[in-house]
Each structure stands twice: as C-alpha cells, then as structure tokens.
Amino acid sequence: ENNILKMYVDENVLNFMGRKEFESAVMANENIQATVMFIDVCGFTALSETNSADSVVNMLNSYFDAMVKEIIAQEGYIDKFMGDAVMAVFRGDYHLDRALDAALAVRQQISKLPEIKEMGGYRPSVSIGINSGEMVSGNIGSSSLKRLDFTVIGDAVNTAARLEFAAEENQILIPEECYLKIKEAFECKKVGEVQLKNKKKSITVYEVLA
C-alpha cells in the first residue's frame, strides 16, 4: 500500500503526513518565497485526436519521466500533472536558478528523444513558463469531501502558467523581475511587452536561451 501511495503522492507530502503535527496542521498554510514552473508538451492535443489512448498515454508518461528526473536533480518537486502539462515548485536557496537549470535540462532531454514514426513523425518539444515570488503554500481543498491538494497558489503562480501559455515551441519564458535576478548567470533574450491572458497590464518578458 505504501508503494502504491508513493506512485500518486509526492514525497514531500508523504514526509509531511508522517509528522506528529500533521492532523492539526492539515488545513494550515504559509506564505513562502519560491519559484514555480509549468511545462507543456507541444502538439499533444492533435496527437490525442488521431492516435489510440494507450499509445498517447504511454508516450506522455515517458516524456514526464524524463522531465521529472531533471526537476528532482535540481531539488524541485512535482506539484501536479495536469493532462499534458507538469507543474513543479522549487523552494530554498537559489530556487530560481535551480528552476532555470531544470528547465534547460528538460528542454535538452526532450529534444534528444526520437521522433515517433507511428504518430506521423511526431518530434517531442515543450513550452515552459517560470516565475518567482511570494505564494501561498498549503493544503487546498475540501475537508468535508476529505480531498486535499498540497500546492501553491497566488499571482506569481498564475503568471507562470500564463507565461507557459504564451511560450512557443521550445521557449522558456520568464518575467523581467526574474531576468534581473539571473541575468549574470544565464543567457537571455528580450521578447518584449506581452499581454498575458486575464492580466490587465502587459509585462516585459525574456526568453532563457542557456
């Protein structure tokens, strides 16, 4: 049962559940400084329309496995899988730098995967949005239904999701606030002013190249 649980629940959550104060803190939350990353598998919707469910799911799981290895290597944790997308969170020292290292590694690993001839020569690629800042971390859900999701929420998280939505194939996008923090360590290119979905004001966006 424990092994099965580990397949569905992140290790950070399992460790939290093992603490004595778990029951009293289960609905508690905290404000944290962290980096959140959204990764989307490009072209997945078209594939799902023209290929069998089994083949698409197996393909997606193999891509997720490659992504997760790079995220864990940078001490990030998987918040959730959302269809053909992954949400990851990085906390602690240099969380933004580690998230960018993970994003670059994910893009590189996915680009190395072979094309799938049975799916019309599909070649895997990803679009990535990253943002750093204050967010709320805690168990979100319904105590009545007894279903909770250990996650992060807030404007910084929403912005990262919108950046991923705006990113093109193989792009890694970050807002200017993040760029100013890492510009000496990473090679970036200014994209310009971008109007993100459901955002009143446009923001200056940069693409992380290396």
**How far is residue 129's CA from residue 86's CA, in Å, rounded to a whole number?**
11
pTM: 0.86
**Residue 7: what pLDDT?**
59
Residue 20: pLDDT above 80?
Answer: no
For residue 210 the two structure tokens come to: 């290396």
Q: What's the mean per-residue pLDDT of the chain?
A: 87
**How far is residue 49's CA from residue 69's CA, in Å, rounded to a whole number?**
28
Residue 22: pLDDT above 60?
Answer: no
Residue 8: pLDDT above 70?
Answer: no
**How far is residue 114's CA from residue 120's CA, in Å, rounded to a whole number?**
12
Residue 77: pLDDT above 60?
Answer: yes
Instruction: List, in order, residues 6 or more apart from 166 with CB less than 8 Å away.
Output: 129, 173, 194, 196, 197, 205
Confidence of residue 139 (pLDDT cuts 50, 70, 90): confident
**Residue 110: what pLDDT?**
94
Residue 143: pLDDT above 80?
Answer: no
Share of the chain above pLDDT 90, in %: 60
**Residue 116: what pLDDT?**
80
A 10 A CB-CB count for 56 gives 17
Query: Which is more confidently placed, 192 or 149?
Result: 192
Query: Taking residues 182-210, what's their average pLDDT?
Result: 93
What CATH number has the domain spanning 29-208?
3.30.70.1230
Task: Give the angle 44-189-125 at the CA atoms, nearest 5°.
Answer: 15
Query: Which is more confidently placed, 99 or 8?
Result: 99
Confidence of residue 11 (pLDDT cuts 50, 70, 90): low
Could you tell me the residue ranges of all domains in the chain? 29-208
User: Reduced to 3 DSSP states, what percent helix, strand and coil does the chain have, rounded to the nearest 5?
Assistant: 40, 30, 25
